Amino acid sequence: MRKVFGRWNEREKDVDYVRGQIDDGLMGKSGGGVARIVAMLLVWALLLGNITYQDGFMVTAAENASVSRSESSAWRGGQEAVAKPLEELSLYAASAVLMDADSGRVLYSRQGFEKMAMASTTKIMTCIVALEYGNLEDMADISGYAASMPKVKLYVNKGEKYALKDLLHSLMLESHNDSAVAIAEHIGKSFLENGLAEKSASEYSLEESRQAVAAFARLMNQKAADIGCQDTWFITPNGLDATETFTLENGDTLVKEHSTTAADLAAIMSYCVKKSPKADQFLQITRCVSHSFTANGRSFSCNNHNAFLNMMAGALSGKTGFTNKAGYCYVGALERDGRTFVVALLACGWPNHKTYKWSDTRELMEYGLEHYQYHAFSEAAFDVGSLETVVVENGQTLSLDGEASVNLALADHVDGLEGLLMREDESIEVAVDVPKSLKAPVEAGQIVGCVQYKVGEQTYRTEYLQTAADIPEIDFFWCLRQIVERFLVCG
């Protein structure tokens, strides 16, 4: 079926016939009352302008016009959302990122999207996953595998039991590798089958322990994906270097390393301190100066080694890391004057340069504090009332010679952010996308356009425009009513 709008372009003799009947009926040339009524009823087809031909016959077909929601998306992060630096900072780290924790916008980057090893900064993900899936009062059984982890360690023993709360403090304050595996086994085992979920981790074989840790790693990778990390892969819960080999369907092999990027690591920390339902517990643990506990007839004391907490006002949280491959790494968060910044550093020096990470962290935090202030997008709010009405083709009007149109209003649904940390040299640009016309019928509340708020090339907020009223499609009864009002009532 092919639709022809506005006028018929086939079978001209049919068009001429209809026009002739209209002229005769309306102007009285036919002289017959019946012919006049028939001619007037035919006028609805011409007014509709919505005629189709099917199998050689002229038929009418109503079009159900619908306008899909704008595909312009609000900000989703990534390399497109990186602010251009005012200056190149003098940093030691091979890879560094400064991020606005609330929006996820990268405010400064040096090789911030390069995949690299991240050592014990891994443990921020271990901690947040354990908090979200576990209970602080849970008792974790210690396996031989967990007890075999290399230093730095709590020196747990196979068969012992520890409260998850104590293991998490051991993990985050002292960076104990054995505690990380004990936590991973405790949480991961509940996802195992064949009776392994009910079996005590202290009775696990080496292979069963590895299965439990692998199950926990899957939770870590799923959480990373949920956060939006595209270049992160977790294998170990403690950050020790590792690789995995996968066999693809075509027989090829894929080797993945335990790795992340500075941008992804900053996004994970942003989630931990601002967006996780367990953010408060995460901060309580990572800000704790010291934690002492007794278990299995032994006493333990864990002290916080995150020097950043005492280095700058507003320091929130952080985690150090080191392996021979990764070098010194760090991820930390600072909150001041309603702004929250996160710094992530990878490969920030090797032994004899342990303090480089503190120097880089301070420089990046000070850069953010000096140059970035919060601006709400409402400061540049678009006046929807300034929009002209949108023409509705084939829409009903009060009079025969009127033109159907509809006003637009802001819909309740909004994608994106309320505001953004911006520099003085940056500005909010507003882009409005509205259709030139719509096709009837139009329903009130129909999404037909959007208002986008941009900084640079990136859209950070999208407000949707909807129709403010119903505009029915011209139909037979509307045409008949127009004919009656115009010709019968008046003449």
- Placement of tokens 């080999």 in the chain: 245
Query: Using CB atoms within 10 A of its CB, is residue 486 exposed (0-12), middle (13-18) or buried (19+)?
Result: middle
pLDDT recorded at residue 25: 41
Mean pLDDT of the chain: 86
Rg over alpha carbons for the chain, rounded to the nearest Å, is 34
Number of Cβ within 10 Å of residue 407's Cβ equals 13
pLDDT for res 45 = 46
At 205 the pLDDT is: 98
Measure Cα distances from 184 to 150, 288, 403, 434 in Å: 16, 22, 68, 52
Q: Which of 38, 1, 3, 4 is nearest to 22 (CA)?
A: 38
pLDDT at 77: 54
Distances (CA, A) of 118 to 211, 329, 353, 466: 23, 6, 17, 47
478 secondary structure, DSSP code: H
pLDDT tens digits for range 305-364: 999 999 999 999 999 999 999 999 999 999 999 999 999 999 999 999 999 999 999 999
Q: Average pLDDT by consecutive 10-residue portion of the chain (491 residues)?
A: 29 40 42 44 47 34 33 45 83 98 96 98 98 98 98 97 98 98 98 96 98 98 98 98 95 97 98 98 98 98 97 98 98 97 98 96 97 96 92 90 92 95 96 94 96 94 96 90 74 54
- The 3-state DSSP class for residue 136 equals coil
Q: What is the pLDDT of residues 432-463, one digit of tens each?
A: 999 999 999 999 999 999 999 999 989 999 99
Rounded to 5 degrees, what are φ and ψ at 236? -110, 150
Triad 217, 218, 222: Cα angle to 5° = 120
Q: Where does residue 149 fall: left (phi above 0), alpha (psi -120 to 50 degrees), or beta otherwise?
A: beta
CA distances from 190 to 39, 138, 167, 197, 212 (A): 79, 13, 18, 5, 8
| pTM of the predicted protein model | 0.81
Structure confidence at residue 57 (pLDDT): 32
Q: How many CB atoms lie within 10 A of CB 325?
A: 14
Strands (E) located in 324-475? 327-336, 339-346, 373-376, 390-393, 405-406, 408-416, 419-422, 429-433, 437-439, 447-455, 458-467
CA distance 484 to 54: 31
Return the beta strands (E) in 182-325 as ranges.
243-247, 253-257, 290-295, 298-303, 315-323
> Which amino acid makes up residue 327?
G
Domains belonging to the chain, first-starting first, are 2-62+476-488 (no CATH), 93-371 (3.40.710.10), 380-467 (no CATH)
CB atoms within 10 A of CB 342: 32
CA angle 69, 75, 76 (to 5 degrees): 105
Q: Looking at residue 488, what is its pLDDT?
A: 67
Query: What are the angstrom distances between the C-alpha of 442 and each of 64, 463, 466, 469?
Result: 9, 20, 10, 8
pLDDT computed for residue 16 by the predictor: 44
